[in-house]
Amino acid sequence: MLFIASCFWGVCIPIMKALGTEQHILAPQTGSMGASAASLCARFGLAGLVALLAGRRSPFRINAAEWKHGCILGAFTAVSMFIQVDGLHYTNASTAGFLIALYCVLVPLLSWAMGKRRMTLVLSLCCLLVLAGMAALTGFDPRAVSLGRGEWENLGAACLFACQILWVDRVPRRQVDPTRLTFVLCAFVSLACLAALACLSGGVPMLTQVHASARAMWLTLFLGLLGTAAPFLIMNRFQSLVGPVAAGFIYCIEPLTAALGAFFLPQLLVRDPALYPDEAVTMRLAVGGVLILAANLLLLRDRSQPQSGETG
C-alpha cells in the first residue's frame, strides 16, 4: 500500500508542473509562492473534505488525540512544502531533488540516534544504494553545490519530511482513526495556505484567479483526490505496519514514478505541447531505478533481524 501511495505522489509531480504552467497563463502577475499557496489551499481543502466524508464523523466529534497529531503532521507538511517551493528558486532542480531525498537516510539515522533501530551493515548499505540511485535520477553533481539559501531550505525540508515520517509512527493507533487524522492534517495545511495567501501581495482572490479554467480545476481535482487524499489516507493507515525506516525507503519510489510519468503526461495536460514537452528516456533513469529497488529489496533482509523499538 505504501508503494501505491508513492506511485500516486510520483505521478502527481508532472501534473503539478502542468498545473503550474496553466496557472501562469491564467494569472501571470501572481508570483510562484502565491500560486503555490493557492494551489495547496484548494488541493488540501478538497482532500480534507474527502477524508471527512470517509471518516463519517462531524469535525466537532473528533477527539483530542486526533486534533493534536493531525495538527502536528499538518504543520510538518505545510512548512516543508513552503520552504521546498521557495528553495527551488535559489538552486537548480537536480540539487534540490537530491537534497530533499536525503530524508530517506535521515529517518534511519534519527531512529538510530533515538535508540529505536540499530544501524546495521545492511541498513548502511541500503542508505548508500538509495543515495547513489537518487544522484543518478536527479543528475546530481556534488562539484556544483554551494550551501546557499536554496540548499539550506531544501535540507530543512528533508529534515521535516523525516520528522513527519517518524511522527506518524508515534500516533497512538487505539486512540486515533486514520481517516479523521488525515482530515485534520489536510484542514490544517489548507487553512495555513489560506492564511499565507492573505499575507501575500494579491491576497485571497488569487485562489480563484489561478483556478479560472476547466483545465486548472480538473488538474486540481486529480491532485486533491489521488495526489493528496488517497496517499495520505494510505500513509496514516499502513505506515505503522512496516515502521518508519522501511517506509522511508519505499517512499523513494516517488521520483522514479515521477520520471516515468514525465515521459508521456506533460504534453497531454497542457494547452500547447511546447509549454511542457515530454521528457526522454535516459540511462540515468534505469541506473537510478535499479539502485533504489535494490535498496528496498536488500532492506527486507535487514528487517528480519531483531530491532529495538520498531514494529514491522
**Alpha-carbon span 236 to 240, nearest angstrom:** 8
Distances from the Cα of 240 to the Cα of 39, 148, 185, 204, 245, angstroms: 29, 36, 17, 37, 10
Name the range with the highest mean pLDDT among 93-97, 148-152, 174-178, 255-259. 174-178
pTM of structure: 0.84
Any idea how long the chain is?
A: 312
| pLDDT, average across residues 171-200 | 92
Identify whether 165 is part of a domain: yes
pLDDT in tens, 8-33: 988 887 888 788 888 888 888 877 77
Residues 275-293 have a mean pLDDT of 78
3-state secondary structure labels for all residues of 218-281 = HHHHHHHHHHHHHHHHHHHHHHHHHCHHHHHHHCCHHHHHHHHHCCCCHHHHCCCHHHCCCCCC
Q: How far apart are CA 301 and CA 96, in angstroms?
A: 31
Q: What is the average per-residue pLDDT within 212-236?
A: 93
Q: Quick check: is 11 in a domain?
A: yes
Q: Assess if residue 310 is contained within a domain.
A: no
Angle at 32 between CA 30 and CA 33, to 5 degrees: 100
The per-residue pLDDT for range 31-86, each reduced to its tens digit, is 777 888 888 899 999 999 999 888 776 666 889 999 999 999 999 998 887 787 67
- Statement: residue 190 has pLDDT above 70: yes
Mean pLDDT of the chain: 83
pLDDT band at 89 (very low <50, low <70, confident <90, very high): low
Q: Please list, in sequence order, all residues whose beta carbon lies within 8 angstroms of the beta carbon of residue 205, skipping any fewer than 6 positions away.
A: none
Residue 308 falls within a domain, yes or no?
Answer: no
Q: What mean pLDDT comes out for the span 161-167? A: 90
Note whether residue 311 is domain-resident: no
Task: Kindly tell me if the per-residue pLDDT of 301 is higher than 50.
Answer: yes
Give yes or no for residue 4 having a pLDDT over 90. Answer: yes
Residue 145: predicted pLDDT: 61
Whole-number pLDDT of residue 234: 94
Q: Is residue 55 part of a domain?
A: yes
The pLDDT tens digits for 255-275 are: 778 778 878 888 888 888 877
Give residue 42's pLDDT: 94
The pLDDT, as a whole number, for residue 93 is 54
Residue 312 is predicted with a pLDDT of 38
pLDDT at 310: 44
Decide if 259 is inside a domain.
yes
- How far CA 301 is from CA of 31, 69, 106, 294, 296, in Å, comes to 47, 32, 20, 11, 9
The whole-angstrom separation of Cα 180 and Cα 170 is: 16
Q: Is residue 309 part of a domain?
A: no
Domain of residue 71, residue span = 2-303
Domain count, the chain: 1
pLDDT in tens, 193-220: 999 999 888 888 889 998 999 999 999 9
